């Protein structure tokens, strides 16, 4: 769907991107993980043709009028207008259908209420983010790029945005999300690119990337600290949470043993930091 090869960008401040190559597939969610200043926004701006690369090329196989929809940095909204009127203005700017039915459909797609008539300055961060996504989806692009979509959202807002992103991917949209937060990308991405100082230093299927590096997991189950099985691996106990140290191959066995002991694990979260991913090459 999208292939970028050897993208390099040099600003007066220095090299922002260093020979970056990425591919996005229809229906997949790819993540771009990196610290502040790593080059995430620069890459997104080049993919969206808002900034020109000094070297490299971007190929997009799409016959849509707008192949890529994006929310880069913050959704640019008219804060004194309501959601519907914002969408209407952007639809006319993008030459997209602007009849009531079409516009309300975009509001529905992102889960925004149709009856909110007040200006978007009253909206929560999550609602503004959703409206930004609705605007990005005008003209039905095949690729959706979201720059730091989780910033400023509470855990419930993050979870519901992840559900929305997964819904769009299941409809065949290729999604590319940046974040400096490992946990959020781990929850929703099929594939991860790790960027540092403008270069991709690590990439691979999320599951593989994480499993090769992680040996510490947090398990959650009611009263799990009473389990005798978990004591073989445990390094930190709380009533319903236990941190364990085991290689990924041992985890299915541990989960099975816990179930046999009567503990139903409701969450198994790998503990990995961005620093670990930056340091390791696969």
- Tell me which residues touch ligand ATP (CB under 6 A): 11-13, 16, 34, 36-42, 180
Q: Which residue, 37 or 56, has its beta carbon nearer to ligand ATP?
A: 37
In angstroms, the CA 21 to CA 183 distance is 24
Least distance to ligand ATP, CB of residue 196, Å: 10
Is residue 178 a contact partner of residue 34, using CB atoms and an 8 Å limit? yes
Among positive and negative, which fits the CA dihedral 125, 126, 127, 133? Answer: positive
Q: Which residue, 128 or 180, has its beta carbon nearer to ligand ATP?
A: 180
Q: Which residue, 50 or 253, has its beta carbon nearer to ligand ATP?
A: 50
Least distance to ligand ATP, CB of residue 3, Å: 20
Least distance to ligand ATP, CB of residue 73, Å: 7
- β-pair partners for 68: 143
Q: How far is CA 140 from CA 91, 93, 168, 205, 225, in A?
A: 11, 15, 11, 27, 50
Given the structure tokens 């797609």, which residue do they identify? 109
Q: Which residue, 96 or 192, has its beta carbon nearer to ligand ATP?
A: 192
With b meaning 16 or more CB within 10 Å and e meaning fewer, what string describes 227-262? bebbeebbeeeeeeebbbebebeebeebbeebeeee
* β-bridge pairing 174-179 and 29-33: parallel
Least distance to ligand ATP, CB of residue 12, Å: 6
Q: Which residue, 52 or 63, has its beta carbon nearer to ligand ATP?
A: 52
Least distance to ligand ATP, CB of residue 9, Å: 8
Is residue 127 a contact partner of residue 112, using CB atoms and an 8 Å limit? yes
The token duo for 18 is 């260093």
Least distance to ligand ATP, CB of residue 17, Å: 8
Q: How far is CA 35 from CA 38, 117, 224, 274, in A?
A: 5, 38, 35, 8
Least distance to ligand ATP, CB of residue 79, Å: 22
Q: Which residue, 13 or 63, has its beta carbon nearer to ligand ATP?
A: 13
Q: Which residue, 22 or 254, has its beta carbon nearer to ligand ATP?
A: 22
User: In the chain, how long is the greatest CA-to-CA distance?
Assistant: 64
């Amino acid at each position: 769907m999208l292939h970028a090869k050897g993208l390099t960008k040099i600003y007066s401040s220095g090299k922002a991107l260093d020979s970056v190559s990425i591919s996005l597939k229809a229906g997949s969610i790819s993540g771009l993980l990196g610290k502040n200043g790593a080059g995430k926004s620069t890459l997104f701006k080049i993919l969206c043709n808002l900034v020109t690369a000094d070297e490299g090329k971007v190929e997009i196989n799409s016959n849509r009028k707008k192949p890529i929809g994006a929310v880069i940095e913050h959704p640019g909204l008219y804060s004194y207008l309501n959601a519907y009127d914002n969408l209407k203005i952007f639809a006319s700017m993008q030459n997209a259908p602007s009849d009531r039915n079409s516009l309300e459909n975009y509001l529905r797609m992102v889960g925004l209420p149709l009856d909110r008539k007040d200006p978007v300055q009253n909206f929560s961060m999550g609602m503004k983010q959703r409206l930004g996504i609705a605007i990005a989806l005008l003209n039905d692009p095949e690729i959706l790029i979201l720059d730091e979509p989780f910033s400023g959202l509470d855990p419930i807002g993050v979870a519901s945005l992840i559900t929305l992103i997964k819904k769009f991917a299941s409809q065949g949209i290729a999604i590319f999300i940046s974040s400096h937060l490992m946990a959020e990308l781990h929850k929703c991405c099929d594939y991860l690119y790790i960027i540092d100082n403008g270069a991709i230093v690590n990439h691979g299927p999320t599951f593989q990337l994480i499993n090769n590096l992680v040996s510490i997991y947090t398990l959650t189950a009611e009263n799990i600290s009473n389990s005798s099985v978990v004591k073989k691996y445990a390094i930190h106990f709380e009533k319903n949470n236990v941190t364990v140290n085991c290689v990924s191959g041992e985890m299915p066995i541990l989960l099975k043993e816990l179930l046999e002991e009567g503990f139903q694990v409701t969450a198994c979260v790998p503990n990995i930091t961005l620093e670990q991913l930056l340091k390791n090459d696969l």
